[in-house]
């Protein structure tokens, strides 16, 4: 491969990080994967970035877009950028134009297409969102792009666990399907055993994956699982509505990313709730593909590069 690369997109997450590159005609040159580059979760991220950049050592790149999980607070941004730039120097990689942003922009650029304005929200280990029009970028209230845990995957999973425990203590109605799934997932033999395993389970990611069991219970008609998903839907819808207020207009798309939407699509009642709040029916675009293609599309647009090959990689479910 030539040392000359027109554009690269890097999407760094808590679980994995992807890099994709194109030449000046928009032809795909490279796709590479490594582990977490979320400095907030991982700490030292240099080793994973060294692995990610290994195939393009000595490259000269026109435009590079980095969309990174944990790119929230200014102090953290400075530390992460310094680590990335140190690795680029080690690998003798030269970049003419670099853009660093929160990974919500990978979701946004995956789904925006030809639209002028849009709202993007991602729900996974947390909830983040952004509203963009031709003039401004608006972040969610809270900490930069972070809306908080409301509607996040692990928050819904914890709500489901709370319902199960409350039910077993007689403080809630019976949820047999959800209860059975909790016992199976946490390998518990009794209520006391379940509580002990929940209390000493420090891994929020493991607890968060219980949401898949909640969704399965919902598909089986469990009322408790439905309550959990409807609450999450309500929280996420309010965040979306707040962002939509910043860019009023017709036909503003709502772009959804993250593990929650990839797994479940629209949560119960989400479309009707948003219409009731805003008075308008909005198109939802659920990003099913790896977010790196959104980062690469952004880089290609910055370099006035054909994006046809990139567009073919972006999978969207419309609703």
Q: How confident is the model at residue 42 (pLDDT cuts 50, 70, 90)?
A: low
The encoded tokens of residue 93 equal: 């990689």
Cβ neighbour number for residue 149 with a 10 Å cutoff: 16
Same fold for the pair 4-103+291-313 and 111-151+230-287: yes
CATH topology of domain 4-103+291-313: Nucleotidyltransferase; domain 5 (3.30.420)
Residue 123's DSSP bridge partners are 127
CATH code assigned to 111-151+230-287: 3.30.420.40
Of 72, 232, 236, nearest in space to 155 by CA: 232
The encoded tokens of residue 82 equal: 């310094």
- How far is residue 69's CA from residue 91's CA, in Å, rounded to a whole number? 23
pTM: 0.92
Total count of residues recorded for the chain:
319
Please tell me the predicted confidence (pLDDT) of residue 75.
Answer: 86
Strands 127-132 and 28-34: unpaired
Q: Which of 143-152, 218-227, 248-257 has the highest mean pLDDT?
A: 218-227
Residue pair 64/303 in contact (Cβ under 8 Å)? The answer is no
Domain boundaries, the chain: 4-103+291-313, 111-151+230-287, 154-219
- How far is residue 236's CA from residue 127's CA, in Å, rounded to a whole number? 8
Percent of the residues in the chain that have a pLDDT greater than 70, as a whole number: 96
Query: 19 or 42: whose pLDDT is higher?
Result: 19
Residue pair 286/267 in contact (Cβ under 8 Å)? The answer is no
Output DSSP code: residue 315: -
Residue pair 99/127 in contact (Cβ under 8 Å)? The answer is no
**CB burial of residue 171 (10 Å; 0-12, 13-18, 19+):** exposed
Q: How confident is the model at residue 248 (pLDDT cuts 50, 70, 90)?
A: confident
Residue 121: strand, helix, or coil? strand
Output the CA angle 75-302-122, nearest 5 degrees: 55
Cα–Cα separations (whole angstroms), residue 222 to 67, 162, 213: 38, 15, 11
């Amino acid at each position: 491969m030539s040392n000359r690369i027109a554009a690269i997109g890097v999407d760094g997450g808590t679980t994995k990080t992807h890099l994709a590159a194109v030449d000046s005609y928009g032809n795909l040159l490279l796709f590479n994967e490594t582990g977490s580059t979320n400095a907030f979760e991982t700490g030292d991220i240099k080793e994973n970035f060294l692995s990610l950049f290994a195939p393009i050592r000595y490259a000269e790149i026109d435009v590079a877009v980095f969309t990174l999980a944990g790119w929230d607070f200014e102090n953290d941004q400075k530390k992460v950028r310094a680590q990335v730039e140190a690795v680029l120097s080690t690998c003798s990689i030269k970049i003419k134009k670099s853009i660093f942003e929160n990974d919500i922009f990978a979701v946004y650029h995956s789904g925006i297409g030809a639209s002028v304005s849009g709202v993007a929200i991602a729900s996974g280990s947390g909830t983040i969102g952004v509203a963009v029009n031709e003039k401004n970028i608006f972040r969610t209230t809270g900490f930069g792009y972070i809306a908080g845990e409301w509607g996040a995957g692990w928050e819904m999973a914890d709500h489901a666990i709370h319902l199960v425990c409350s039910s077993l203590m007689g403080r809630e109605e019976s949820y047999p399907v959800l209860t059975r799934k909790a016992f199976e997932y946490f390998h518990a033999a009794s209520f006391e055993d379940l509580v002990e395993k929940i209390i000493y389970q420090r891994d929020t990611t493991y607890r968060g994956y219980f949401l898949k069991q909640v969704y399965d219970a919902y598909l089986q008609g469990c009322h408790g699982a439905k309550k959990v998903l409807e609450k999450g839907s309500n929280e996420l819808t309010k965040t979306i509505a707040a962002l939509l207020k910043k860019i009023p207009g017709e036909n503003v798309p709502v772009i959804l990313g993250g593990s929650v939407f990839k797994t479940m699509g629209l949560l119960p009642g989400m479309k009707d709730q948003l219409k009731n709040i805003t008075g308008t029916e909005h198109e939802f675009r659920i990003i099913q593909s790896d977010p790196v293609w959104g980062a690469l599309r952004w880089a290609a647009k910055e370099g006035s590069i054909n994006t046809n090959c990139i567009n073919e990689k972006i999978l969207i479910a419309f609703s």
